[in-house]
């Protein structure tokens, strides 16, 4: 049955968190999402939409730049074995002109079959599916795999990104049209196999509304059921990076009550450093990071974030949490200083800070000896602008500490993103328990934020 504009408006309000009384915990959202095995009875020849993790840049050979594509292999082979016509769709980058041509070719190499790319599939004026695209899907042989061109090629994919609940009534009509068209002309079965798809993309959050059957893909389910659930029990957190909004995620993780040690660097550490100084009756100048003239820069730390950091430290200390923050900094000119000061900016932690971190790791390892279960460590981000050799030392020095903890029997998880790149550059994946392929999704999940595709799948699965 087609979805009405009114029903789509209600669906979107749910996605935006504007429906009181319907919020659930991460564990509840994960449990509510159907699994791939529930689709075992879907007949051969049935078209199945696969929201794929296709935001990748394949290198010259399989295994290069295609980890997200390879993460989909189990699900895609599962569908091929059952004769489904799988139609993969998703985005590459944020720009509409990006193409999935190389991605489709690499998926074909991974699966050992031809994977055509359907370059045009939506009429942007009417938000309807083009007849030629629908016919290509209809005429595909059982076991075929197709790819639809970059979803962000079309404006309708991005309309919920900045939407507020009061905007929904004006957006529901076009969204309902597209979702109904997808169900009528492409497929009525939907598999979510894009672990990193954390945005309110239409393909991720809206299309499931009109599907008869939905399920989490094998890889996404394995990540949520295993490593992510483990990370909810983290006793030690290494938090760093440029984005100060990570402070909100850190606060949510601390509020779960399992964290005993926080090692901080980057913008999070700067806010905590200033907050700690104020709590001791002093101050710590953050340099240009607290200059109101720089408020539009990504490194700017607004006063309310320092206030938040104060609350976080006070609450953490009440729980017996140890906060380890940098004691020296590499400034923009390469000088190492125990202060940042007006006009300066920190680009890395200094050698004394690295020593403090290493000693804290040693204390944590010692505290876990004789524990009933292995301790859990979550590492997110990098300690400085490690892409520049002048500012890589802090990150390069710390990565071996992950191996040290892993060798001591701890479970060590890396959140992906820049932390994953640093591990690849300075260490080995065998040094840790797991490196996630979707840093943003992992941080949001652990930080108490809603994962839109889990909300959508849970709601669609109840139909």
Residue 35 per-residue DSSP state:
B
Say which residues have a Cβ less than 8 Å from residue 459's Cβ, sequence separation at least 6. Answer: 11, 14, 208, 209
Helices (H), 257-413: 266-279, 303-318, 351-367, 393-407
State the Cα–Cα distance between residues 271 and 265, nearest whole angstrom.
10
Q: What is the pTM of this model?
A: 0.89
State the Cα–Cα distance between residues 247 and 253, nearest whole angstrom.
10
List, as one string, the DSSP characters of 330-362: EETTS-EES---TT--EEEE-HHHHHHHHHHHH
Convert the pLDDT of each residue in 393-406 to its tens digit. 999 999 999 999 99
Q: Return the pLDDT at 23.
A: 77
Closest to 265 measured CA to CA, from 192, 138, 166, 353: 353
Tokens 């900045």 sit at which residue?
162
The pLDDT of 386-392, averaged and rounded, is 92
Say which residues have a Cβ less than 8 Å from residue 261's Cβ, sequence separation at least 6. Answer: 235, 236, 237, 321, 322, 324, 360, 363, 364
State the Cα–Cα distance between residues 271 and 249, nearest whole angstrom.
14
Radius of gyration of the chain (CA): 24
Higher-scoring residue by pLDDT: 417, 85: 85
Convert the pLDDT of each residue in 28-86 to its tens digit. 999 999 999 999 999 999 999 999 999 999 999 999 999 999 999 999 999 999 999 99
User: Going from the N-terminus, what domains does the chain have, and what CATH number goes with each?
Assistant: 5-224+450-461 (3.40.50.1260), 232-432 (3.40.50.1260)
Q: Residue 146: pLDDT above 80?
A: yes
Output the furthest CA–CA distance in the chain (Å, rounded). 73
Angle (CA) 87 439 296, round 5°: 110
Residues 442, 436 contacting (CB under 8 angstroms): yes
Convert the pLDDT of each residue in 171-230 to its tens digit. 999 999 999 999 999 999 999 999 998 899 999 999 999 999 999 999 999 999 999 999
What's phi and psi for 105, nearest 5 deg?
A: -65, -40
What is the C-alpha end-to-end distance of the chain, expressed in Å?
A: 12
Q: Return the pLDDT at 21.
A: 67
């Amino acid at each position: 049955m087609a979805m009405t504009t009114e029903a789509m408006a209600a669906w979107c309000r749910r996605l935006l968190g504007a429906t009181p009384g319907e919020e659930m915990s991460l564990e509840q959202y994960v449990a509510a999402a159907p699994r791939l095995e529930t689709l075992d009875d879907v007949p051969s020849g049935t078209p199945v939409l696969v929201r794929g993790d296709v935001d990748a840049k394949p290198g010259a050979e399989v295994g290069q730049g295609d980890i997200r594509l390879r993460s989909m292999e189990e699900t895609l082979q599962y569908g091929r074995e059952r004769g489904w016509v799988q139609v993969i769709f998703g985005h590459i980058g944020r720009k509409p002109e990006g193409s999935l041509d190389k991605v489709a070719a690499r998926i074909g190499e991974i699966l050992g079959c031809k994977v055509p790319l359907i370059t045009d599939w939506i009429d942007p004026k009417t938000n309807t599916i083009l007849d030629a695209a629908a016919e290509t899907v209809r005429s595909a042989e059982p076991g075929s795999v197709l790819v639809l061109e970059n979803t962000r090629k079309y404006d309708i994919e991005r309309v919920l990104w900045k939407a507020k609940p009061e905007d929904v009534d004006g957006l529901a009509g076009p969204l309902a049209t597209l979702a109904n068209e997808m169900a009528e002309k492409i497929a009525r079965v939907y598999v979510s196999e894009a672990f990193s798809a954390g945005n309110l993309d239409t393909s991720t959050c809206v299309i499931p509304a009109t599907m008869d059957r939905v399920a989490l893909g094998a890889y996404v389910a394995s990540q949520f059921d295993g490593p992510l659930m483990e990370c909810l029990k983290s006793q030690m957190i290494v938090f760093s990076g440029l984005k100060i909004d990570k402070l909100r995620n850190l606060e949510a993780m601390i509020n779960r009550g399992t964290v005993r040690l926080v090692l901080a660097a980057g913008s999070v550490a700067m806010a905590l450093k200033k907050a700690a100084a104020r709590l001791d009756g002093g101050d710590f100048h953050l340099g240009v990071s607290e200059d109101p003239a720089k408020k539009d820069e990504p490194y700017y730390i607004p006063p309310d974030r320092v206030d938040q950091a104060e609350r976080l430290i006070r609450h953490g200390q009440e729980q017996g949490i140890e906060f380890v923050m940098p004691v020296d900094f590499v400034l923009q000119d390469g000088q190492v200083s125990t202060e940042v000061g007006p006009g300066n900016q920190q680009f890395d932690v200094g050698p004394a800070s690295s020593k403090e971190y290493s000693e804290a790791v040693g204390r944590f390892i010692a505290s876990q000896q004789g524990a009933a279960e292995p301790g859990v460590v979550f590492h997110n981000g990098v300690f400085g602008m490690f892409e520049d050799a002048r500012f890589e030392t802090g990150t390069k020095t710390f990565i071996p500490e992950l191996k040290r903890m892993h060798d001591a029997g701890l479970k060590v998880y890396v959140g992906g993103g820049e932390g994953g790149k640093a591990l690849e550059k300075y260490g080995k994946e065998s040094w840790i328990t797991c490196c996630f392929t979707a840093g943003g999704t992992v941080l949001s999940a652990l930080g108490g934020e809603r994962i839109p595709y889990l909300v959508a799948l849970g709601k669609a699965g109840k139909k």
